Amino acid sequence: MISIYDTTIQTIHPHRTLYLNMMQKGGTIIDVRTIHEYAHSHLKGSINIPLEELNDWLEDVKYMDAPIFLCSSKGDRSHEAQEKLLQLGIPAIDLGNWEDYF
């Protein structure tokens, strides 16, 4: 925000804007990191389904609010999860590194 009374310029990170938009419009955020990584910290409103367990949860994921947003620590696991879901016809968006949304 730019103010004529203050020379401070605050920038809203584009990832943060996307996250806020997602939270308003709905969908499901799945964090595909390990249980321990997720327990340490995670995006508010996300659920944890570790990539190694995704196959066990596919029937449940099919019925979650779409679109499915995926995140991980560096983006590799979320990308792998996205490819798997898209191959099954499940709409999925790879958000990459979850820490970019803070």
Q: Dump pLDDT digits (tens) for 7-48.
A: 444 444 555 666 666 667 778 999 999 999 999 988 888 899
Domain boundaries, the chain: 13-101
Fold annotation for 13-101: Oxidized Rhodanese; domain 1 (3.40.250)
DSSP class per residue in 32-62 = -S-HHHHHH---TT-EE--GGGHHHHHHHHH
| pTM of the predicted structure, to 2 decimals | 0.77
The yes-or-no verdict on residue 76 having pLDDT over 60 is yes
User: CB of 29 within 8 A of CB of 47?
Assistant: yes
Output the six-digit token pair for 71: 């995140």
State the pLDDT at residue 100.
63
